[in-house]
Chains A and B, each alone.
Chain A
């Protein structure tokens, strides 16, 4: 059996996922990166996207959508702190599309730069969520 990495997904409201897994693929701000056991120490921000959790045979076991956050990686463990996360299977397509439409509207309606920045961030999250549905398996 290959070495495993202990992966934790933590949100402020609960510990969402905690298990030993083969590999985790995290959507970093500067590109996706895979974490295997023995990874060098790393702190990275996470963009809205899908975390793929792989077992020892490199099969995807879980796909979790996060709305951004950050990841802390060391040789034996990987922790992702995300404010909001949900399993890709549990995303409701109709709701997601509605959210995207609302977000786009907010961007057009934004009165000043700050409002626009917030709306754009919400839109990017909504877009990433739709995208998560479109891509089935990594």
Chain B
């Protein structure tokens, strides 16, 4: 029979934990809303970028002097994986599902005889990947979303990747992030960044069918546009990721709060029973003592 004081202490500590988890849930909900707003704010830019790329793709079709960011190096020997996770834990399976996917891709590539390089964005990716792929991790970027996620931060990552690409350090670049579907569901998405797949011309029917003049010529515009597009893709991935992170944390904390509540109920029942049993025991003792007299 557990004693009353211990039970009381456990109930109180569980209550404290519940307070923390429910506060974290509230904070995540607010952050999730902000992340979603940011993602919506980024949409007009992304849409127009896509439209311009679409019409460029239409007019570039059949030309073979496309920039390297678009056509690649012509090989696919060295793969760069950009693994995007959060800096902080306590968000359910969010980080581990990304890392699991990254591991799988890296193993598959290695099995196929390719070289794999890994660039970690976010502390968790580095922590979890450095054990198995210690020699393949070429860099780690932390605190991208502090104090808040800006386009600049994404652009910085893009420049770093581009510098590596121009130095010939890899042939194919893939980013792995969590696509935000809802607060409950996030989808791990690998997306190829270099060589970049242009939106095909027939998807952008209206815009692409219009004839545009280009100033300067198509190739120069494309050369200027592709790095920008890369920054944009990374920015979008980071936004999706941060929305997913907060969504995942919200769900995880919601569950934790509920579990703590259940535990408190169970412990309280236990506590009351024990108390009752003690009282009964004392009564029996008194009564039997009185009878003995």
Contact = CB atoms under 8 A, between A and B. Distances in A.
Contact of B44 (A15, A42, A74): A15
B221 A41 contact: no
Interface in A1-48: 8, 10-15, 28-30, 40-45
Interface string B218-250: 001100110010011001000000000000000
Nearest to B167: A114
A81 interface: yes
Contacts of A84: 151
Contacts of B48: 10, 72, 79, 81
Q: Is the interface of A mostly helix, strand, loop or mixed?
A: strand
B45 A11 contact: yes
B235 A12 contact: yes
B241 to A, nearest CB: 15
B43 to A, nearest CB: 9
A13 B150 contact: yes
A55 interface: no
A11 B48 CA distance: 11
B224 A10 contact: no
Contacts of B216: 29-30, 44-45
A interface, how many residues as a size bin? 20 to 34
Contact of B215 (A11, A28, A74, A114): A28
Contacts of A72: 48, 51-52, 212
Interface string A59-93: 00000000001101010000101011000000000
A44 B55 CA distance: 13
Nearest to B211: A41
B213 interface: yes
Contacts of A70: 52, 221, 224-225, 228
Contacts of A10: 44-45, 48
A43 B55 contact: yes
B42 interface: yes
B288 interface: no
A122 to B, nearest CB: 11
A40 B213 CA distance: 8
B155 A83 contact: yes
Max count, chain A CB within 10 A of own CB: residue among B38, B45, B154, B235: B45
A118 interface: yes
A97 to B, nearest CB: 21
B215 A43 contact: yes
A43 B151 contact: no
Contact of B224 (A14, A30, A45, A79): A45
Given A8-B44, A44-B215, A70-B228, 15 more contacts: A10-B48, A13-B41, A28-B215, A30-B215, A41-B213, A43-B221, A44-B214, A44-B221, A45-B221, A70-B224, A72-B52, A74-B210, A81-B45, A81-B48, A81-B49
10 contacts: A10-B45, A15-B41, A41-B210, A42-B212, A42-B214, A44-B216, A45-B215, A45-B225, A81-B48, A81-B49
